[in-house]
Amino acid sequence: MMVDYLALWRAMLIIGVFSYALWKESPYFRFCEHAFLGSALGYTLVITIKTINTTAVFPLVSEAKIIYVIPIILGIVLFLRYSNSTKWISRWPIALIIGVGTALGMRGVLYAYIISQVKATATASFMTDNALTNFNNIISVLTTILVLLFFTFTVLKGEKEGSLMFQLRKISRLMIMLTLGAFFGSITMARLTLIAGQIKELLIAFGLLTS
Amino acid sequence: MSGIQSRNIPVALVFVCGLIVTVAFFIDVPMLSSISDSLQTWAVIVSGFALGLGIVNMLAIHSRHISRKTSGQWPFSVVFILFFLAQAAPGLVDIKTLSNPIYVWVYTNIFSPLAAAMYAILGFFIVSAAYRAMRARSLEAAFVLIAGIIVMLKNAPIGAVIWSGFPVLGTWILDVPSAAGNRAVFIGAGIGTILLGLRVLLGYERGYLGGR
Amino acid sequence: MEVRSKESSGFWEKLENIDHRILYWILIVAIAIPYLRPLGIPVPVTEPVQDFYNTLDALPPGSTMILEISSGPSAYGEIGPSSEAVMEYLTKIYPEHHGGDRLRFVILSVSEQGPLMYNAYAKPKFDETGWQYGVDYAYFGFISGLETAVARLAEDIPSLLPSDYLGNDIDDLKAMDGIHSYKDIAAVMVWDSMGATEWYVKHWASKGVKVGNVCVAVSLPAYTMYYKNKDMYGFIGSSRGGAEFEYLIGKPGDAVATTDTLSLSHLWVIILIITGNIGLLVEKYFSHSKR
């Protein structure tokens, strides 16, 4: 039987990482950890240079778009942060990223986080032909309103234990717990699937499973 | 360097860039749109350079460990540097197509399996959490557990074998209360993002400037 | 009573303090068994996966799609098999349904690890089925900037993609003919493990472009919400969604095998939760009895 040495090598790396959980922290695990960090950083360096080449150097050199000199200079200026005397100017390119990123972020959340969500809640009909749909829409709207109430961190005048607002906040906490429970169920599937993928690689490497 | 140059100019830059990009979204003025488009393209390019900052930091930290022969760490820092060079050098040699065989070999047989394993190891800690932390000490905790178990039995095919209601109930939890709860959370987060964004643009939040 | 409580609380105490490594090894066995002896439990197709399939199948041949690969080796276990199934559909089954005509693809990554996933799952499928690079699809590699890049692309694609991954000028790529902005894109599909789909919902779906994804399970609650709001045309969630898609296209494979393992592993986690809670009840009951 042909032995796939590369698959065995990869299996040894997986076992090295898993040894942290299945055995204990050891030089084997630390070797794998630092090999990962080193190769990840090397890969990031290559990809970073490539993307700068694609988005900035190529238009400057091949299409003579001289204006691309400005972002290239700003990008190089970022590295002046390592000297105390020039640190001040490295804040300018950061300011560009922050200013543009913040504005785009605000633009984006306006539709996706606010308008779309409010529209979905406001257009939920309670008078369709399907009783289950009506019930679901009522629960949906009530849950949205209750959870929004919970995030109102101002204590309203007259609010005390036993008051209507207090009771509503208790119910809204329970609805948030349902949301978190669903999240936990999804995370569990995510993490277990990742381990399953690695177990499959190990079984294939040791000849117990064909790919 | 004086405070004006050091901190106030960047704050003003944030305001100007943010204002242009925001206003261009709402008001259609060709010159404004053109400047906004350029600023966005430049921000993308400068972000690429920003990735290099992390690389410089990590190399500096591990080089220091090696030069000071930090006990218990420096041999692993050597490993770090060696694998960094093994991945980076062949890639830089053939930056145009990134098809250097050594570069491809290293990312296929070292980086990829290690990356996959590093993320997969988190699954073991879900098991620990399930055993140690997932206790129904209150009504709210019980709600989390019950919803979590039902969704798990919806996701796992065996759930339908145990009881055909699990997939139905699990789908209902995801589609109705969970989606509705997420909607409210997102609305709150959206309002928070806009308020925080305004604080950043107006110069009240200056954490991005770093220390003196 | 006292003797019983000592024995019982001793047993539960031992169980409470059990070495976690034992639990981890049992998990590994629970995952390995279905690979070696498949359970074969069927996986019914759910609405989001069916809608994902229907939307893609309804796209007119010759339409251009954006394939955003914002994932990498860290998520291969979860969305690798699903992505492979989607590529099988796009490269073989879609053309079969449309008289041999194909869709066109503009492929890019806002994640640095995206090129790895492109090389592992997308490129081999294109090569296997004789798709012509530059004509049927073009790949632009990693584009920095995250949400800023996604927002900018919606307005002006050539401004951020002046050359492809191999250094070819965008004007030389037939696949990019007539592609300038979101208006020229029929749909977006994201292979997502970092939340990039949300940026496409914010800046592309808001302009009426169809957005769907193959995503990790962690994001399922959020994307279920977007799907219910009709901001997304569908999604394939983790290997479970991939298994459903494989059944839909009639080619059960890796995703089905991986989903099989979810049964025993999830049961083990549930047993641990129940055991922990029984221990909690015992602790409460015996601490009351002692008083």
The alpha carbon torsion through B196, B202, B205, B210 (nearest 10 deg) reads: 130
* Mutation choice for C interface testing from B119, B128, B178 by most C CBs within 10 A: B119
Query: How many angstroms away from the CA of B32 is the closest CA of chain C?
Result: 14
C-alpha closest to that of C18 among C227, C278, C272, C237: C272
Mean per-residue pLDDT over chain A, rounded: 91
**Among positive and negative, which fits the CA dihedral C149, C152, C153, C159?**
negative
Q: What is the pLDDT of residue C288?
A: 55
The least confident of B61-70, C6-15, C151-160 is: C6-15
Cα C269 from Cα A188, distance rounded (Å): 9
pLDDT at A153 over 80: no
Contact of B195 with chain A, judged by CB distance below 8 Å, is answered with no
Percent of chain B with pLDDT over 90: 81
Subunit contact B193:A113, Cβ cutoff 8 A: yes
Q: What is the DSSP letter of A88?
A: G
Cα C148 from Cα C154, distance rounded (Å): 10
Three-state secondary-structure class, residue C1: coil
Mean pLDDT of B164-168: 95
Domain ranges of chain B: 1-68, 69-120, 123-201
Q: What is the pLDDT of residue C287?
A: 65
Residues of C in contact with B97 (CB under 8 A): 165-167
Q: Are C210 and C186 in contact (CB under 8 A)?
A: yes
Subunit contact B185:A147, Cβ cutoff 8 A: yes
Residues of B in contact with C41 (CB under 8 A): 157-158, 160-161
C-alpha closest to that of C246 among C29, C59, C102, C52: C52
Q: What is the pLDDT of residue A149?
A: 87
Percent of chain B with pLDDT over 70: 97
pLDDT-derived band at B164, boundaries 50, 70, 90: very high
**Which comes out higher in pLDDT, residue B175 or A63?**
B175
Name the residue facing C141 among A54, A190, A199 (closest C-beta).
A54
Q: Are A114 and B191 in contact (CB under 8 A)?
A: yes
CA distances (Å), C13 to each of B90, C5, C8, C60, C276, in order?
A: 56, 11, 8, 64, 11
**C112-156 pLDDT, tens per residue?**
999 999 999 999 999 999 999 999 999 999 999 899 999 999 999
**B174-205 pLDDT, tens per residue?**
999 999 999 999 999 999 999 999 999 999 98
**C36-69 pLDDT, tens per residue?**
999 989 899 999 999 999 999 999 999 999 999 9
pLDDT at A2 over 90: no
Subunit contact B54:A18, Cβ cutoff 8 A: no
pLDDT-derived band at B2, boundaries 50, 70, 90: low
Residues of C in contact with B179 (CB under 8 A): 221, 224-225, 228
Residues of C in contact with B155 (CB under 8 A): 217, 240, 262, 266
* Cβ neighbourhood burial of B28 (10 Å; 0-12, 13-18, 19+): exposed
Subunit contact B120:A97, Cβ cutoff 8 A: no
pLDDT at C269 over 90: yes
Q: What is the pLDDT of residue B4?
A: 61
Q: What is the DSSP letter of B108?
A: I
Query: What are residue C13's phi and psi, to 5 degrees?
Result: -65, -40
Cα C197 from Cα C195, distance rounded (Å): 5
Residues of A in contact with C160 (CB under 8 A): 55
**A128-147 pLDDT, tens per residue?**
999 999 999 999 999 999 99
First-to-last C-alpha distance (Å) of chain B: 10
* Residues in B 31-90 with any Cβ partner in C closer than 8 A: 37, 40-41, 43-45, 47-48, 50-51
Mean pLDDT of B40-44: 93
* Mutation choice for A interface testing from C29, C173, C216, C228 by most A CBs within 10 A: C216
Angle made by CA atoms A101, A106, A107, in degrees to the nearest 5: 100
DSSP string, B135-152: ---SHHHHHHHHHHHHHH
Q: Are B145 and B136 in contact (CB under 8 A)?
A: yes
Domain ranges of chain A: 1-64, 66-123, 131-211
Mean per-residue pLDDT over chain B, rounded: 92
Name the residue facing A177 among B120, B140, B190 (closest C-beta).
B140
pLDDT at C290 over 50: no
A119: nearest CA partner in chain B: B183
**Which comes out higher in pLDDT, residue A167 or A141?**
A141
Q: What is the DSSP letter of B72?
A: T
What's the number of CA atoms in the CB half-sphere (13 Å) around residue A162? 0
* Domain architecture of chain C: domains with CATH: 2-37+262-290 (no CATH), 47-252 (3.40.50)
Query: How many angstroms away from the CA of C73 is the closest CA of chain A?
Result: 10
Beta strands C137-142 and C187-192, pairing class: unpaired
* Cβ neighbourhood burial of A161 (10 Å; 0-12, 13-18, 19+): exposed
pLDDT at C7 over 50: no
Three-state secondary-structure class, residue C234: strand
Provide the token pair at B193.
């993002």
Name the residue facing C36 among A58, A119, A209 (closest C-beta).
A209
C157: nearest CA partner in chain B: B41
Q: What is the pLDDT of residue A162?
A: 76
Angle made by CA atoms A16, A20, A25, in degrees to the nearest 5: 105
A106: nearest CA partner in chain C: C202
Q: What is the pLDDT of residue C29?
A: 96
Query: How many angstroms away from the CA of B68 is the closest CA of chain A?
Result: 18
If phi over 0 gives left and psi between -120 and 50 gives alpha, with beta otherwise, what is residue A160? beta
Contact of C258 with chain A, judged by CB distance below 8 Å, is answered with yes
Subunit contact A78:B53, Cβ cutoff 8 A: yes
Mean pLDDT of C217-245: 94
Query: What are residue C109's phi and psi, to 5 degrees?
Result: -140, 130
Residues of B in contact with A121 (CB under 8 A): 180, 183
Residue bearing tokens 């081999």: C124
pLDDT at A163 over 90: no
**C152-202 pLDDT, tens per residue?**
999 999 988 999 998 899 999 999 999 999 999 999 999 999 999 999 999
Mean pLDDT of A42-46: 95
Query: Interface partners of B (3+ CB pairs, < 8 Å)?
Result: A, C
Q: What is the pLDDT of residue B5?
A: 64
Residues of C in contact with B110 (CB under 8 A): none
The complex's ipTM? 0.87
Query: Interface partners of C (3+ CB pairs, < 8 Å)?
Result: A, B
Strands of C187-192's sheet in order across: C137-142, C104-109, C64-70, C187-192, C210-215, C234-237
Subunit contact C160:B51, Cβ cutoff 8 A: no
C-alpha closest to that of C141 among C174, C171, C116, C104: C116
Subunit contact B91:A43, Cβ cutoff 8 A: yes
Name the residue facing C144 among B51, B97, B148 (closest C-beta).
B51
* Residues in C 71-130 with any Cβ partner in A closer than 8 A: 75-78, 80, 112, 115
pLDDT at A40 over 70: yes
Cα C182 from Cα C197, distance rounded (Å): 15
Beta carbon pairs, A and C, within 8 Å = 153
Q: What burial letters (b/e) apply to A175-198, b meaning 16+ CB within 10 Å?
A: bbbbbbbbbbbbbbbbbbbbbbbb
Q: Are B197 and A102 in contact (CB under 8 A)?
A: yes
Mean pLDDT of A118-135: 93
Query: What are residue B26's phi and psi, to 5 degrees?
Result: -95, -30
Provide the token pair at A50.
């490539």
pLDDT at C5 over 90: no
Which amino acid does the sequence have at A124?
Answer: A
Q: What is the pLDDT of residue A84?
A: 86
Mean pLDDT of C69-74: 93
Subunit contact A195:C148, Cβ cutoff 8 A: no
Q: What is the pLDDT of residue A151?
A: 81
Query: Interface partners of A (3+ CB pairs, < 8 Å)?
Result: B, C
Q: Are C269 and A192 in contact (CB under 8 A)?
A: yes
pLDDT-derived band at C14, boundaries 50, 70, 90: confident
B173: nearest CA partner in chain A: A182
Subunit contact B175:C270, Cβ cutoff 8 A: no
